[in-house]
Amino acid sequence: MIERIPKIHNCFLFLPSAIALSHLTRLVLIAQELQQRGAEIAFVFPENNQILQHYNFQFFPVADAVITDFSSNVFAAYTPSLIEQCVNDELKAIEAFKPDAIIGDFRLTGAISSKIAGVPYISIVNGYMTDYFDPVDVMIPKDKRPLDYKIASIAAKAIQGKQKRDLATHFREYAQKHKLKNLVSLYDFLRGDLTLIADLPQFCPLENLPPNFRYIGPLIWEGFNATVPDFLKINQSKQIIYATTGNTGKEKFIQLIIDAFKNDNAYEVVLTTGAFIHPDAVPNIPNIHVTRFIPGSEIMKHSQAVIHCGGNGTTYQALSQGVSAVVIPFNNDQNINAWLVKKNKLGIPLSPSELTGNQVKLAVKKLLDDADIQNKVQHFKQLLTNIDAPKSAADQISTLF
């Protein structure tokens, strides 16, 4: 029996953060699905870049922060004047396009402009970007160490509450000028009339979710042409390692990969450098093949292990292919994914502080010899087999109309 997909004749304005490419590409996947169902689509972004041009989406320019150091507080770049400019640009786009709903990903001003304009707001978030995520349980499992968990949880709630309020200070002050209620703490700005969680509940479980918070699964963009370039078709008789900085990685990550595997004939390594590091900056080493971007899932099909920084997309790419990972995180969000990988026994997290290349290689060997980890990643591969997050998102969005 063929499933009937309901037509959607609404107009949707997409507001991705420009802080990292993944916030744009996740929304592109949802936009394509909605467009196929008959919806009219437009994007608000600082530039009509290659991705938006490729899909020929209607485009409106908007201001945003420029971030190059992802280990720092990215919200510090949003000064009161920049926030005001972002909201004004968004309101101009809303007035011109007249959307039935606004769909945002990590763009905090979207929660403000949608309320000012009186347009329903749909937010795409990771599970740990909600007030329903318990980071203490990830680090100190309450079922195994209940007393330690209780003590840590009391302290953590107070600390985290203050941190989230402090991070949202300028956004909150602007919202208050417009007499907008319920926009106080950081995660208030990442919540919508409908909040869609780009995670699996088995990987990132959340408790006591309200009915307008719904899991859709991971949104993984593989590029325009999800094939591995000919020059990266490497020797399959060796251990194939895929290593990626993502778009928020560090030069230190690249150096660790070089130190771990250079001229070791047991390994062939495919290394991607992301948006901020040019491949030409990496030394030419025979068994380390370097490119800026590659469809991660495709190269993972040929890989025995993945080494990455803990980005949401790469984490789920590895799980979807049943490949275990060494995770070397460089910022708070990546740390959380690294903890979740450890808690779910899907890989090995390593702190970059004082880490050596030899320790990275030893972790890969341990990973490949750990039958429990290998079984766990195969379990998650099965869980992800029938997940279609763009379709799920479109189905959930259609319930609003």
Read off the pLDDT of each residue in 299-309 and give the average, rounded to a whole number. 93
Residue 228 confidence (pLDDT) = 67
- 201-254: per-residue pLDDT in tens? 999 999 899 999 999 999 998 887 766 666 566 666 789 999 999 876 688 999
Same domain for 100 and 128? yes
Same domain for 194 and 251? no
Range with the lowest mean pLDDT among 62-71, 302-311, 357-366? 62-71
Residues 6+ positions from 140 with CB-CB distance below 8 Å: 148, 149, 152
**Paired tokens of 50:** 């290659």
- Whether the CB-CB separation of 295 and 222 falls below 8 Å is answered with yes
Residue 47 confidence (pLDDT) = 95
Q: Categorize the per-residue pLDDT at 157 as very low, low, confident or very high, splitting at 50, 70 and 90.
A: confident
Residue 1 confidence (pLDDT) = 43
Same domain for 98 and 148? yes
Residue 278 confidence (pLDDT) = 86
Rounded to 5 degrees, φ, ψ at 77 are: -75, -15
pTM: 0.92
Mean per-residue pLDDT of the chain? 91
- 95-153: per-residue pLDDT in tens? 999 999 999 999 999 999 999 999 999 999 999 999 999 877 777 777 778 777 777 77
Q: Is residue 33 part of a domain?
A: yes
Instruction: Quote the CA–CA distance of 15 and 312 in Å, as a whole number.
Output: 19
- 5-55: per-residue pLDDT in tens? 666 779 999 999 998 889 999 999 999 999 999 999 999 999 999 999 999
Same domain for 321 and 347? yes
The residue to which tokens 């953590």 are assigned: 156
User: What is the number of domains present in the chain?
Assistant: 2
Residue 140 confidence (pLDDT) = 75
Same domain for 184 and 268? no
Same domain for 342 and 394? no
Residues 6+ positions from 144 with CB-CB distance below 8 Å: none
Residues 6+ positions from 169 with CB-CB distance below 8 Å: none
Burial class from Cβ neighbours inside 10 Å (0-12, 13-18, 19+) for residue 68 reads exposed
Q: Is residue 42 part of a domain?
A: yes
The residue to which tokens 């680090």 are assigned: 139
Same domain for 133 and 60? yes
Instruction: Quote the CA–CA distance of 217 and 392 in Å, as a whole number.
Output: 8
CATH number at residue 284: 3.40.50.2000
- 264-273: per-residue pLDDT in tens? 989 999 999 9
Instruction: State the residue range of the domain holding 155.
Output: 11-222+387-398
**Paired tokens of 256:** 């660790």
Q: What is the dihedral of CA 269, 275, 278, 283, to 10 degrees?
A: -30
Instruction: Quote the CA–CA distance of 262 and 284 in Å, as a whole number.
Output: 10
Residue 153 confidence (pLDDT) = 76
**Paired tokens of 268:** 């062939």
